[in-house]
A and B are shown apart, each in its own frame.
Chain A
């Protein structure tokens, strides 16, 4: 398994501002994922972030709104730009360990936009 930390754990932000969420893993991983989860709902994949290549975004998510960095094999950031109340959600990063397809999740970042 892997130990994954996220910062911040929660934040309350004003509309129009941006927030950068950090994800740190205790081991080197190739594939990292960013998800959004509304309370009581399933997970929605935002993008896949592989080191050394640009992130791959899912339908409905664009780089201008959710820029992602992946500078090395243990770290990634997701920025939520120009926020609106509709961006209020829990944002989760996850990793896939080499040789396995299962994913391990960080504790999540609870974002509230007012």
Chain B
């Protein structure tokens, strides 16, 4: 079945450094979504990418969707302590009776002040 791999599993940075997490799918994705989960919290939707080669920005966060719609990345410029949490990518699977998200394992980001 469809799988979404995400690396790295953990990343520890100094405040002000950049951070990137990468997602790779075994198959072409209809779209890819990114979520952030703060420690003790629930996943919160960040963004959805639909088009091949799409790039979207949210302040210090830049999201990219690969040309083949099989990979994606989230880049954070100049990390802050508020960026701490686990970032998940999730690919939309429209096969079968119901559409569902295929979740990556997540990248846990720690930021040293």
Total cross-chain contacts (CB, 8 A): 46
Q: How large is the interface on A (under 10, 10 to 19, 20 to 34, 35 or more residues)?
A: 20 to 34
Interface string of B26-49 (1 = CB under 8 A from A): 000001010000000111110010
Of A41, A50, A101, A106, which one neighbours B42 at CB under 8 angstroms?
A: A106
Cα(A100)–Cα(B45), bound, Å: 12
A-side interface mostly: strand
| Cβ contact within 8 Å between A45 and B48 | no
Closest to A106 in B: B42
Closest to B43 in A: A105
Taking the closest CB of chain A, its distance from the CB of B90, in whole angstroms, is 8
Residue numbers in A under 8 Å from B41 (CB-CB): 107
Q: Is A33 located at the chain interface by the 8 A CB criterion?
A: yes
Residue numbers in A under 8 Å from B100 (CB-CB): 33, 45, 48
Q: Is B105 located at the chain interface by the 8 A CB criterion?
A: yes
Q: Is B99 located at the chain interface by the 8 A CB criterion?
A: yes
Q: Which one of B33, B43, B92, B106 has the greatest number of beta carbons of chain A within 10 Å? A: B43
Q: Is B103 located at the chain interface by the 8 A CB criterion?
A: yes
| Cβ contact within 8 Å between B103 and A42 | yes
- Beyond A50-B98, A102-B45, A103-B45, is A43–B103 a contact (Cβ under 8 Å)? yes
Binding site for B on A (CB under 8 A): 31, 33, 40-43, 45, 48, 50, 56, 92, 94, 100-108
Binding site for A on B (CB under 8 A): 31, 33, 41-45, 48, 88, 92, 97-101, 103-106, 108
Ordered nearest first, which 5 A-B pairs have the shortest CB separation? A105-B42, A48-B98, A102-B45, A42-B105, A43-B103
